Structure 1
Amino acid sequence: MKRITFFVTLLIMIIIGVFISCDSDSGTIPSGGGSTGTSGIVIIYDTSRANAQKFKDLLIEAGYNDESIELMSFFQLESELTNLSRYGLIIINPEAYLLSADTNRLKKIKSSNRPILGISGAGARLFDSLRLNIGWGNCAVITNELRLGVVDSSYTIWKTPYNLGVKSGDSIDIYKSNVYSCAVYKRSGIDTIVTLIGQSKRSPNYYHIALEKKYLLWGFSGSTTFTNGNPDLLTNEGKKLFINAVALMLTK
């Protein structure tokens, strides 16, 4: 009788294991997945709060707390009460490309000394102002691209919190249709300073995703312009990679 009970229990465990395995390969983001984030995140935008809200919704979908993510306009940056150093991560919305043109706002971001995830041209322009190698001056506009190449699959951005199951040299679709990207040029010696993460398939000397110190450029805009990008066109794999990028930057 004990032997029968053992085999029945074992069979149930196998069935449950198969079910979980199938669910994890379904390409959907689990409702409770991702890091819940113990530090706050602020998404800085110019005029399109609705655009910034879409990135916030993506993070909430992945398990981040609504209360831990704040949307902040340019005008709020001008307030003396605004303290960016209290956030765990600053995300620059793709339509906030004029941010780097304002000395006072730029000074407040610089003095925060916080990790920054800059999206598309807005991020590249900001990083240029910070004199980084992943800034606008070392980037090129790449149009009509929806996929990228995996540079080093052992890097944590491919594994945590979502394991994308890729190998170095693989190509994965990040967007459902072609979008613009501000991609970093791999000039001589730059890979000793910058972690090159996602390679362009159309222009192999350029990289859509790159990390320098505590600054990460997500070059893709998510649209056919630099100023109107949002996560609507991300594939499930693209969403997971973006969430992984956020989780990575929260550790910086």
Structure 2
Amino acid sequence: MRMRFGLAVLLTVAAPAFADIITITPPNPPSGQSQSPAPFTYRGTTGSRDQQVYSSSFFSGPQSLTSLAFRSTPSFLNGADYANVIINLSTTTHGDELGTPLSTVFADNIGSDVTNIYSGPLSFAAPTDQGFDYVINFTKPFRYNPAAGNLLLDVLIPAGTSVSGQGFFLASFDTANQPNDGVASVSDIFDGNATRGSIDTSGSITKFTGTAIAGTVPEPASWAMMVAGFGLVGVAVRRRPFIRFA
């Protein structure tokens, strides 16, 4: 009996889990409610800081997020080049106007699982139509569990960073701007050294792409453990004493 129980536990721990690639967007995102240069900045070298929060209700379950994309504003189809951008994600207890709203102090909104998902130069090509054309592929995935809180996007363009591109607003982002719509932001789009920002009910309409976390995919060591476990089971069966019945 002990041998069978040991085999069952081994299979439960080591069996692989298969996940589906899914794309997440706010439900029925409105089009062209307002235009905003956030979560980035105008041209120049002053830098900027912007935090946006997305309600956990937008997500069906735990995700390993690997990229995001912003939708361009109609009639503002411009590109932009940023010499340096630092982007973090974290889980936060803050949200939109319902519950605990975002703090004006950037540091107060950041969760303990903060993860840097992109650092370095970033370029947005001029979109050809109003789509999710401003794409950022993460250099490190972010494991997000909506049961733990809302998702916080934190975008910093350090002061002194060169920002250039065509048009007055450079990259221009289509935003959702209704009370209690599950998105909100706090920003200072003119100062990369700012520690505080202004609260706004709007947030850029964003598409997150990731993998649903249905379980833990085993590491090579786990596969080795499983193979070794089968070997031990085989040895145990082979050495089992033979009982002769009279």
- For normalisation by structure 2, the TM-score amounts to 0.24
Between structure 1 and structure 2, the one with the greater Rg is: 2
Higher RCO, 1 or 2 (CA under 8 Å, sep at least 6)?
2
Greater fraction strand: 2
Greater fraction helix: 1
